[in-house]
């Protein structure tokens, strides 16, 4: 069996152990095909799954790829099992090499914190020196050489943990030591909390050796999420107060802008009226001059236009908004990385060396892993060396930038129940299919550096995680990838595994019943006009099943028709019919 050397959310490196096999004198007949190490890039829609060998050959491989709804990117067949990498769109890239060192593996913030901070500091310094821009959640998604594995929804989760508004420009985040250190700490916590809990999520979803989650299993992942597709979020009281303070300041700002715009509109109207009066007076003066045969140059249009421009300018600066942030959620990261001086803006002792990030900000003249000094702006002892992040900020002369945080006393909450003492609502925004934002901040779309639209309540609820599960739509998480099996109820609480759609081991009637149920849950119901009294689900399920039938794959698909229903007569009609029979019989006898 291969050994997983390194893995991320989008790839895995397998070591096949051929060196040990060679040393044991094994005959490696496939050495020209399989080298020592394989780098498999999952890209967007590829997921691995284990199959018992008999199920793989007797079920999945007997069904056409167009019928089973997934493709096999690559599969490795072993003695008893098959390791298959399944893809929805064949976006998959294998790379073979003799040495694992040939693969570029981004440093892990947990296992290689110093190297990670050094690479991050270099990347930030290069980013700030360039003309690059973009919104923060897209920039960290694209920076896979640093934030490896961050995707569409994980970026929103990390920003929530970091207390960073998702609409901020990336340059505004990375030029602030506190926000940068909080982002690092949040990324650390996301990885730390996720990996150890995966077995508890995946093992209950395994059925007959194959990943086959039920809706109940899929719903469990919703409890992993903080903000993405959640209706509300459980938070500490001070976090809720920070969110309320944010919304209050935004409302005051919006009211000031609306008042200023109304006043500007009124001034503009007055100016236009004056300009119109001046224009009429000028026209009258010109007409009189023409009548007298005089040359009179009356030009008030330029003056009126300049007066209009000077009267309608509305320039209200954005309010000072503090970031809603709960330090307790990232405490383990701050302790491990020592970034509190950056987070809270605390001074460090001179005998403490700067970390790479602090050194960069110090060089860039921005002030704020040991990252606590960056996040909170805490003072550090002079005898402590800067970490790479602190050194970068020191070099950039950025260590004195504001933290955008309120005062925390105590910094950390000791009671876990205090982290769930209050709730706040979520808000959803969209900028297209690949731009979805979930946050606890109700901000005007004009705050964002890209075009975002706020979803109304109906649209927001339709996108909630649990609602997508109930309607059989694909949600997010490790249980939502293609190629998952499904459990088919047989009888008396007994279930059978369906490896894929069209599995020949599942009876046709049971597959049709499952598909009818799915169609009902997705909103396909009977028509009220009577044209389709049995419901579209019946016909569609029959058609889909006919398409998935291996034996009839090339035959004409026919929609099944239900037999004509025998309508029952009422009690009164039954009595009348009996009387007619009696009368007819009596007359025949006479």
**Residue 38's pLDDT band (cuts 50, 70, 90):** low
- How many Cα atoms are found within 13 Å in the side-chain-facing hemisphere of 521? 14
Q: Are 315 and 348 in contact (CB under 8 A)?
A: no
Q: Rounded distance, CA 181 to CA 570, Å?
A: 78
pLDDT at position 8, please? 47
pLDDT at position 374, please? 56
Q: Kindly list the domain boundaries of the chain, sorted by start residue.
A: 3-102, 240-312, 507-590
Residues 6+ apart with CB under 8 A from 375: 177, 178, 181, 182, 185, 327, 334, 339, 340, 341, 342, 343, 344, 368, 403, 405
With 80 as the cut, is the pLDDT of residue 30 above it? Answer: no
Percent of the chain residues topping a pLDDT of 70: 69
Mean pLDDT of the 363-370 span: 52
- Beta bridge partner(s), residue 96: 38
pLDDT at position 12, please? 54
**Residue 382's pLDDT band (cuts 50, 70, 90):** low
With 70 as the cut, is the pLDDT of residue 462 above it? Answer: yes
Q: Are 534 and 520 in contact (CB under 8 A)?
A: no
Q: Are 179 and 371 in contact (CB under 8 A)?
A: no
For residue 242, the surrounding DSSP H or E stretch is helix 237-292
pLDDT at position 127, please? 94
Each residue's pLDDT tens digit, 196-237: 888 888 899 999 888 888 888 888 888 889 999 999 999 999
CA angle 91, 92, 95 (to 5 degrees): 150
With 60 as the cut, is the pLDDT of residue 1 above it? Answer: no
Mean pLDDT of the 291-310 span: 56
C-alpha dihedral (401, 406, 409, 411), degrees to nearest 10: -60
Mean pLDDT of the 13-35 span: 45
**Residue 185's pLDDT band (cuts 50, 70, 90):** very high
pLDDT at position 155, please? 93
Q: Rounded distance, CA 232 to CA 427, Å?
A: 9
What separation in angstroms does the CA of 160 have from each of 121, 349, 372, 383, 583? 22, 31, 18, 34, 84
Query: Which residue has better confidence, 380 or 498?
Result: 498
């Amino acid at each position: 069996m291969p050994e997983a050397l390194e893995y991320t959310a989008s790839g895995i490196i397998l070591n096949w152990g051929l060196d040990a096999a060679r040393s044991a004198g094994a005959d490696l007949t496939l050495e020209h095909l399989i080298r020592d190490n394989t780098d498999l890039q999952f890209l967007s829609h590829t997921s691995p799954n284990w199959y018992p060998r008999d199920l793989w050959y007797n079920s999945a491989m007997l069904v056409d790829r167009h019928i089973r709804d997934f493709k096999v990117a690559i599969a490795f067949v072993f003695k008893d099992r098959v390791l298959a990498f399944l893809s929805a769109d064949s976006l998959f890239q294998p790379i073979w090499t003799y040495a694992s060192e040939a693969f570029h593996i981004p440093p892990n913030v947990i296992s290689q914190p110093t190297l990670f901070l050094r690479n991050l500091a270099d990347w930030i310094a290069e980013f700030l020196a360039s003309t690059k821009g973009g919104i923060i959640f897209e920039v960290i998604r694209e920076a896979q050489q640093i934030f490896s594995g961050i995707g569409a929804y994980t970026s929103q989760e990390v920003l929530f943990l970091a207390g960073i508004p998702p609409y901020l420009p990336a340059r505004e985040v990375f030029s602030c030591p506190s926000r940068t250190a909080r982002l690092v700490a949040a990324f650390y916590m996301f990885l730390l909390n996720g990996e150890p809990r995966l077995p508890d999520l995946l093992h209950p979803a395994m059925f007959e050796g194959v990943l086959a989650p039920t809706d109940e299993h899929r719903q469990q992942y919703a409890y992993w999420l903080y903000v993405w597709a959640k209706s509300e979020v459980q938070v500490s009281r001070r976090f809720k107060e920070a969110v309320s303070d944010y919304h209050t300041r935004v409302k005051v700002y919006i009211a000031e802008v609306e008042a200023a715009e109304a006043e500007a509109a009124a001034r503009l109207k007055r100016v236009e009226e004056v300009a119109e009066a001046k224009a009429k007076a000028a026209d009258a003066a010109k007409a009189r001059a023409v009548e007298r045969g005089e040359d009179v140059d009356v030009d008030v249009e330029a003056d009126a236009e300049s007066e209009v421009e000077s009267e309608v300018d509305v320039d209200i600066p954005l309010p000072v908004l503090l970031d809603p942030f709960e330090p307790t959620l990232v405490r383990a990261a701050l302790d491990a990385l020592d970034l509190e001086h950056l987070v809270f803006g605390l001074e460090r002792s001179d005998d403490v060396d700067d970390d790479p990030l602090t050194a960069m900000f110090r060089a860039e003249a921005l002030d704020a892993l040991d990252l606590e000094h960056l996040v909170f702006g805490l003072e550090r002892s002079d005898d402590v060396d800067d970490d790479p992040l602190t050194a970068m900020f020191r070099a950039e002369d950025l260590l004195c930038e504001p933290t955008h945080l309120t005062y925390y006393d105590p910094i950390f909450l000791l009671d876990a129940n205090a982290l769930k003492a209050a709730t706040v609502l979520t808000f959803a925004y969209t900028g297209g299919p690949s731009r979805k934002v979930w946050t606890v901040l109700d901000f005007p779309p004009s705050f964002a550096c890209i075009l975002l639209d706020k979803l109304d309540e109906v649209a927001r609820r339709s996108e909630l995680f649990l609602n997508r599960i109930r309607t059989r739509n694909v949600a997010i998480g490790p249980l939502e990838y293609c190629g998952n099996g499904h459990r088919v109820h047989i009888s008396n609480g007994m279930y059978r595994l369906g490896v894929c759609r069209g599995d020949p081991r599942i009876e046709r009637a049971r597959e049709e019943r499952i598909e009818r149920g799915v169609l009902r849950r997705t909103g396909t119901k009977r028509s009220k006009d009577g044209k389709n009294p049995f419901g579209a689900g019946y016909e569609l399920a029959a058609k889909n099943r006919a398409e998935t039938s291996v034996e009839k794959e090339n035959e004409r698909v026919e929609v099944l028709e239900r037999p004509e229903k025998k309508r029952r007569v009422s009690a009164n009609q039954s009595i009348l019919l009996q009387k007619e029979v009696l009368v007819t019989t009596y007359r025949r006898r006479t």
